[in-house]
Amino acid sequence: MLKVCFIGSSGHYRYALDGFRFIPDASAVAVAPGCEGEDVDAAIARISNAGQSPRKYEDYREMLDREKPDVAVINTYFAFNAGIAVEALERGINVFVEKPVGTTFEDLERVRTALAASGKKLAAMLGLRYAPHFYTAWKAVREGAVGEVRLMTAQKSYRLGERGPNYRKREIYGGTIPWVGSHAIDWLYWFGNKRFKSVMASHSRCCNRGHGDLEMTAVCHFTFEDEVLGAVNIDYLRPSTAPSHDDDRARIAGTSGVIEVRTNKVYLISEQRSGVQELAVDNPGSIFADFVAEIRGDGQCLVTAEDSLYVTEACLRARESADTGRLVTF
C-alpha cells in the first residue's frame, strides 16, 4: 500500500487526489493543517468523497511520526511549505510540494540540502506541464516543429475574487511572481530547454482592492543561454464575468515556425505547411501518478526535483529584480 499524508489545503492537493485513480494501492491515511489558522475540513470532505477515509490530526509532525507515510503532499500557506518539506525529507518521506518550493532563498537552500541528504524524491506541483494543450505544444517543439527556439512569451491571468488573509502579507504569500508566475516561468524553461542567465522584472500592488501586499500585475524579461529571450506577463485582472478563472497562454517562436497555446488549444504555423494548423492534443496522464511511478523506479515524472528547485530559484530572482528595480543574474 502507498500511504499518503496531506499537510494543508491551501494549494493544489487535488493533483495528488486526482492521481489516486491511477494508483490502485494508494491510500490517503491522514490530513493535518500546516500552520495555525488553516482549515482542512473541506479537504477532508473532498478526500472522503473520493472514497478515502483519512484521519484528522491537529499537528502534522505527530501525523508524520505516527503514520510514517511514503509520500507527504504539502500545500499549506506558501511560506511554510519549505520548512515542512525539510521535516518530511529528514524523516525519510518523499515530498510532493506546492510551488514555489520556497519563498526565500534561505528556505530553498534548506530544501535542496535536505533532499540531497535524504535520498528521497521531490516534485513541485507544476501540474500545468500535464495540461494536454501545454504538453502537446511542448512535445511538438521538442520534435522540431518550430526549428530552433529563439523567443518565448507566456501569460498567466487570474480572477482576483476575495483572497484570504494569507495572500495579503508578503512574508506569508511570497509574492505574485513566485505564486502565479511560477507556471509561466516554468513553461519558458521547459519549452526553451536553456538555462537562465538574467532577469529584469517589475510588479505593482496598485488597484489590488484592499488585498494588502498582493501584487496585481507583473512582467518578467528573461535572457537564456544562447541569447534566447523570454517574457512573462502576470495579472489578477481577469474579470469576474470571464468564462473561466484563468487565461493561460504561450507563444514559442523558432527559426522555422511559431506555436501558440490559447483557450486550451494549440496552433502551429510552420514553413513546412501553409496556413494555421490546429494540433490534436495528447493527454500525458497524471503528475502525481508519474511521481509515484518514479518513486517506485517505474518511470519518470515530467517535473523533476532539479526542475522544481531551479524554477523556484528563477521565480525568486525575478521577484528580487522587481523589488529592487535591478537586473539580476543567475
Q: Hey, how many other C-beta atoms are within 10 angstroms of the C-beta on 49?
A: 9
Cis (ω within 30 of 0) for the bond into 100?
Answer: yes
Provide the H-helix boundaries in the chain.
Answer: 14-19, 41-49, 60-67, 81-90, 105-118, 132-142, 170-173, 176-179, 181-192, 287-295, 305-324
Q: Which residues of the chain, if any, have pLDDT below 70?
A: none
Is residue 204 situated within a structural domain?
Answer: yes
- Residue 104 and residue 250 in one domain: no
Q: Kindly state whether residue 190 falls inside one of the protein's structural domains.
A: yes
- 97 and 160 fall within a common domain: no
On whether residue 273 sits in a domain, the answer given is: yes
> How many domains, in total, are found in the chain?
2
Same domain, yes or no, for 278 and 135?
Answer: yes
**306 located within any domain:** no
Q: What is the pLDDT of residue 9?
A: 97
Q: Which of 120, 147, 179 is the last residue of a domain?
A: 120
Q: Which three cell numbers stand for residue 21?
A: 485513480
Q: Would residue 240 count as lying in a domain?
A: yes
The answer to whether residues 116 and 133 belong to one domain is no
Query: Of 65, 91, 120, which residue sits at a domain end?
Result: 120
Instruction: Flag whether 156 is in a domain.
Output: yes
pLDDT of 14:
97
**Cα 213 to Cα 134: distance, rounded to the nearest angstrom:** 31
As a whole number of angstroms, the distance between CA 295 and CA 100 comes to: 21
Task: Please say which residue of 81, 98, 120 terminates a domain.
Answer: 120
Q: Which of 184, 175, 312, 179 is nearest to 248 (CA)?
A: 184
pLDDT number for residue 291? 98
Tell whether 210 is covered by a domain.
Answer: yes
175 and 318 in a common domain: yes
Element (H, E) at 71: strand 71-74
Judge if 264 and 153 occupy the same domain.
yes
CATH number, domain with residue 143: 3.30.360.10
Q: Are residues 94 and 189 in the same domain?
A: no
CATH of the domain at 72: 3.40.50.720
Give the CA distances from residue 299 to residues 50, 154, 288, 296, 302, in Å, rounded to whole numbers and listed in that order: 25, 29, 12, 8, 10
The whole-number pLDDT of residue 241 equals 97
From the centroid of its chain, how far is CA 247?
Answer: 16
CA 159 – CA 53 distance, rounded (Å): 33
Which DSSP category does 212 fall into?
A: T
Per DSSP, the residues of 159-196 read E-----GGGS-HHHH--HHHHTHHHHHHHHHHHH---E
Query: What pLDDT does residue 114 have?
Result: 98
Alpha carbons 163 and 10: distance in angstroms, whole number: 11
Looking at the fold, whether 99 and 154 belong to one and the same domain comes out as: no
Q: Residues 155, 105: one domain?
A: no
**pTM, whole model, 2 decimals?**
0.97
Instruction: Return d(Cα 273, Cα 277) in angstroms, integer.
Output: 8
pLDDT for 96-146, tens place per residue?
Answer: 999 999 999 999 999 999 999 999 999 999 999 999 999 999 999 999 999
Over the stretch 288-303, which tens digit does the pLDDT of each residue have? 999 999 999 999 999 9
Residues in CB range of 252: below 8 A, 6 or more apart: 137, 141, 146, 149, 151, 152, 191, 192, 258, 259, 260
Task: Give the residue numbers spanning the domain of 318.
Answer: 128-287+311-329
Find where cell 477515509 sits. Answer: 53
Task: Indicate whether 100 and 221 sit together in one domain.
Answer: no
Does the residue 298 lie in any domain? no
What pLDDT, on a 0 to 100 scale, did the predictor assign at position 55? 98
Q: Does 315 lie in the same domain as 205?
A: yes
Pair 236, 218 in one domain: yes
Separation of alpha carbons 260 and 267, rounded Å: 5
Of the candidates 55, 69, 51, 61, the one whose C-alpha atom is nearest the C-alpha of residue 5 is 69
* pLDDT of the residue at 250: 98
